[in-house]
Structure 1
Amino acid sequence: MYKYLLPLVVAAWPACAQAEIEPSAPLTLKAALALAGAANPGLSAARHELGALDGALRQAGLAPNPTLSVERVDTRRADGDRRETTLLLSQPLELGGKRAARVQAAERGRDGAAAELALRQAELHAGVIDGWFAVLAAQEQVRLAQQAAELAQRAAGATARRVVAGKVSPVEETRARVAASTVQLDLLRARSALAGARQRLAVLWGNPAPRFERVDGAIEALSQLPELPPAAVLRGRLQQAPALAQARAELARRQALAQLELGQRTPDVSFHVGGKRSEELGRTQAVFGLSLPLPLFDRNQGGVLEAARRVDKARDELAAATLRLESDLAQAGADFELARQQAQALRVDILPGAQSAYDAASTGFDYGKFGFLDVLDAQRTLLQAQTLYLNALADAHRALAAIDRLLGATHD
């Protein structure tokens, strides 16, 4: 069975989104956005849906096909002179504005698919930016962990020499070795987190095994945090958000479908024209006729009621989407402001003090004025402050990406 299915799968494969293999060189944000835009499966699916609804729109505007029928009375050969043959061409005529309502519903469905595509693009754009900055932050974490490991090894070596010289207890050397091993574990965790961040970013363009080792950026790229516009301006931009455009298009489509259901109450007329050939009379007669269903029982009452309730549902969903997006936008703005303030406080107040304390403890240790535990505490405090700073910057960029996703912004 599989040998018959395989050619079909191979034939359909080019139509699917192909995974992009990024270069092994450091990856810029612009390159990551281009890779994801070209090969993201979800974005490709949204494009296919939009193309499919182009076909649905074309189909909705077509008129019904005519019907050709042939009827023969008395087919016996012995009575061939009594045969009657009737040839009819029937053309249904749609009444009640059905075709116009059908086309309008198809147009609104296409508008909804276009809004869905824009929403997917905004989500992908925000996801790539979030993922790229996550890799950049993970790179900085690895760099800090490597520095900590090197410093711990140097301190352990210095402690060993002081033990040999009889200046400190051998217990200090054991503590130094344990501390160095602990820092090595932190380095392993940082490298694992970097590998996970790289994979999550590469999956956005369909590559589960990323080739790039790092992104092309530095801590300065993380620390550049813009000022948000006023909340009223953001709420105004929210009215053009893809999610709201999609909800509005769905409401318009439901309203058009309700009009179509109302039109279904008006029966369609079929016009017949043709000829009737009588062998007995030896002549052909023209035949004209109309057929009209009688709406005695079925007047599409249920369809009209269902369509009306669907319109009410779409209207409520639009209101719910508006409230949800406003709440999400306010939360994302608050998250950004909190992360920005934390990053500023860490950069201005905490990091310089932690760095100064560590430098003093390290210098004092080299001159024998401080013990190893003093250096270790100062180092741990500095690393914690640096980690908090990186986390605050990453949170700020994550909140910015969430705001762009909600507003549908796709700028670099």
Structure 2
Amino acid sequence: MATNSFRGVRQAVAVALSLLAAVPVFAEPQPLSLQQAVTAALDNNPELIALRKEAGVFDAAAVRAGVIPNPTLELEAATGALTGSSDDSNLSLGISQEFLLGEKRLKRRTVAERDLAGYRWQVADRERAVREQVQAAYCDVLLAQERVGLARHSIELNKQLLQVAVDRLAAGDIPELEMYLVRVELVRSEGNLIELQRSLLDSRAKLFALMALPPTASPVLGGTLNGNDVRVQAVGDLKQAAMQNRPDLKALHAAMQKSDAEVALAEAEGVPNLTAGIALSRDTSSMEIGGVEGRETSYTIGLKLSMPIPVFDRNQAGQQEARAKRSSAEIRLQGAAVSVEREVESAHASLANAEKVLSLYRSDILRQLGENLKLTQEAYRLGEVGILAVIEEQKKYFEVSDSYLAALHARQIALNKLESAVAADINGGAQ
């Protein structure tokens, strides 16, 4: 009997294990990294999608620039019925073709191609701006999350302090007013948590809007505000990199090249086009010889060449307009280059200042404040200090901790702005 019971138990355990193995295990959703957020925004942002769709317009312009003019079919008929010569008639059928001289077709294609190149750099520049916006929004969410965690820690400390005050009040060591002061601090910290949670919701909504996520999607962010050192190149090297990488500068350079091509096209437009045609004619006429009336039909083939004489109009206005656009594009490029240099300088200085502020918190000041807070709390529990000293020490600890989080956030925002100004990852991928 014992053997049968043991065998039955073993079979039951085996069945249970097989049932557990059959239950599907769902993987936990992976936290959303900064790179994933940027990729989602670049793929799903409606403004970027609409801008990319405009590529078809420029492709069509390139096709249109290379199209050969259509031939012209000419049909002409004449009759003498209205002038009393009903037997006289003429019928002509011809075809003509316009030939573009001065390499107009090639130059039009060059203008269209450079216009397309400028458009592509404009798309890249818009992507750069969206990337910077997503990075800033992502950092805002991280800061809001850290502040919510700090507020919860403050509530926990106030609850512990309230329990100590209640115990000391029961023992008759403190007046009731001290317990009420602690309760006020607890309520204040709880109200601060509610406000920070609302700010967190707003920051997440802004980030998810940039990513174009559906309203039901609410992924968890997996990054943290990084307090590690950042290696930054010299400002001169960063300026040189910005001049080579910035898509807005490349778009303006493409616009200037397009203007050069438009000047060449305007000069070519001053050369008139040649139109060549060939026609087949049939002439029918009547004649009377010796009282006998007869009809005669003749066929002729003719060649026709025509070309406007450039006496009054040699496209002077078009050439003047093209040269004016070229000068304007050159001035815009020069002004943008100066602005980019200033932007890099400003972003580099902002990052340096943020690093200086952050370095103030790297001398174990937070650890020392934490130890001071613990010592003050223990001293209050032993009755060596009053409640105001503990409350003041807690305020100091959380104010400095919040300032440290703000410094981390400011440093990361400054780094993102500098990377956007240079249009390159200057920190080896450490985001």
Asked if the contact 1:127/1:401 (under 8 Å) is kept, the reply is no
Question: Structure 1, unaligned stretches of length 5 or more?
Answer: 1-22
Q: Which one-letter code corresponds to 1:66 in the other structure?
A: P
Q: Deviations over 1:350-380 (max 9, x none)?
A: 3233223222212222222222221221111
The Cα of 1:387 is off from its aligned counterpart by 1.4
Moved more, 232-241 or 130-139: 130-139
Matches within 5 A, 1:149-298: 149-207=155-213, 209=215, 211-219=217-225, 222-240=226-244, 241-280=246-285, 281-298=296-313
The Cα of 1:208 is off from its aligned counterpart by 6.2
| Partner in structure 2 of residue 340 of structure 1 | 355
Asked if the contact 2:284/2:297 (under 8 Å) is kept, the reply is yes
Q: Deviations over 1:58-87 (max 9, x none)?
A: 221222111112121238599664221222
Moved more, 229-238 or 72-81: 72-81
Asked if the contact 1:26/1:212 (under 8 Å) is kept, the reply is no
Asked if the contact 2:62/2:113 (under 8 Å) is kept, the reply is yes
Asked if the contact 1:46/1:116 (under 8 Å) is kept, the reply is no
The Cα of 1:24 is off from its aligned counterpart by 6.2
SS at structure 2 position matched to 1:62 = coil
Q: Deviations over 1:254-279 (max 9, x none)?
A: 12112222222222221111212213
Structure 1 runs of 4+ aligned residues shifted over 6 Å read none
Asked if the contact 2:148/2:193 (under 8 Å) is kept, the reply is yes
Between Structure 1 and Structure 2, which shows a larger proportion of strand residues? 2
Asked if the contact 1:27/1:212 (under 8 Å) is kept, the reply is no
Distance 2:45 2:102 in 1: 44
Q: Which one-letter code corresponds to 1:163 in the other structure?
A: L
Asked if the contact 1:199/1:208 (under 8 Å) is kept, the reply is no
Matches within 5 A, 1:24-63: 25-63=30-68
| Partner in structure 1 of residue 142 of structure 2 | 136
| Partner in structure 1 of residue 408 of structure 2 | 393
Asked if the contact 1:145/1:183 (under 8 Å) is kept, the reply is yes
SS at structure 2 position matched to 1:267 = coil
Q: TM (normalized to structure 1)?
A: 0.87
Cα RMSD (Å) = 2.3
| Partner in structure 2 of residue 13 of structure 1 | none
Distance 2:415 2:80 in 1: 81
The Cα of 1:312 is off from its aligned counterpart by 0.9
Q: Deviations over 1:74-114 (max 9, x none)?
A: 38599664221222212111122322221111111111112
Distance 1:88 1:122 in 2: 58
Distance 1:49 1:406 in 2: 26
Question: Structure 2, unaligned stretches of length 5 or more?
Answer: 1-27, 286-295
Q: Deviations over 1:293-337 (max 9, x none)?
A: 233333322222221111111101001110111111111111111
The Cα of 1:349 is off from its aligned counterpart by 4.7
Cα distance change, pair 291–358 in 1 and its aligned pair in 2 (3 A)? same
Q: Which one-letter code corresponds to 2:348 in the other structure?
A: G
SS at structure 1 position matched to 2:173 = coil
Distance 1:112 1:42 in 2: 18
Moved more, 247-256 or 34-43: 34-43
| Partner in structure 1 of residue 131 of structure 2 | 125
SS at structure 2 position matched to 1:114 = helix
| Partner in structure 2 of residue 113 of structure 1 | 119
| Partner in structure 1 of residue 10 of structure 2 | none
Q: TM (normalized to structure 2)?
A: 0.84
The Cα of 1:226 is off from its aligned counterpart by 1.9
Q: Which of 307, 325, 329 pairs up with 1:314? A: 329
SS at structure 1 position matched to 2:270 = coil
Pair member with larger Rg: 2
SS at structure 1 position matched to 2:222 = coil
